[in-house]
Amino acid sequence: MKKTLSVMISSCLTILFVVPCLAEDFSSPRATLETLFQAIRDRDKELCAACVSEELREEVLENWNESDLPDEFEYEILDEDVGEFEAIIKIKLVSDEYGEEEDELWLIKEADGWKITMETYDDYYEQMDTCLE
């Protein structure tokens, strides 16, 4: 179950699902998810890449594979924990291709808004401390 979601996140990070969204919006963690899900529906890899943290954008663009994306899907936000600079959103995804699964997405606040990442600030700073020792 985690593997399928990882494949999706790895191809757009490789990612997920949707609610219609009229424009890019990174003003909140929820808005970023809605932008991401619309980008996946539209098969818009540039917008999809814009939804992830700067350090992951090139990877998203290089690993983009539309065949990993579901044709139709729905999502439900089950829980949100939003802080000043990071957030965790628990979602349930449902699609014919991948069935139903739950996962948590981490987001961080960058200069241009909220972006999906693979690690939290605590993880990042812990790695920096280890490098400096």
Write down all domains in the chain, each with its CATH number in brackets.
2-132 (3.10.450.50)
Number of CB atoms found within 10 A of residue 74's CB: 14
Question: Among 26-35, 57-66, 70-79, 124-133, where is mean pLDDT lowest?
Answer: 124-133
Two tokens at 87? 């957030």
DSSP string, 18-78: ----SS---SSHHHHHHHHHHHHHHT-HHHHHHTB-HHHHHHHHHH--GGGS-SSEEEEEE
- Measured from the Cβ of residue 98, the count of other Cβ atoms closer than 10 Å reads 18
DSSP at 120: -
The arithmetic mean of pLDDT across residues 87-114, rounded, is 94
Give the residue-averaged pLDDT of 60-71.
Answer: 90
Of residues 133 and 58, which shows the higher confidence score? Answer: 58
Indicate the pTM of the whole model: 0.73
What does the pLDDT look like over 44-61, one tens digit per residue?
999 999 999 998 999 999
pLDDT at 125: 52
**How does the average pLDDT of the chain come out, rounded?**
81
How far is 14 from 5, CA to CA, in rounded Å?
A: 8
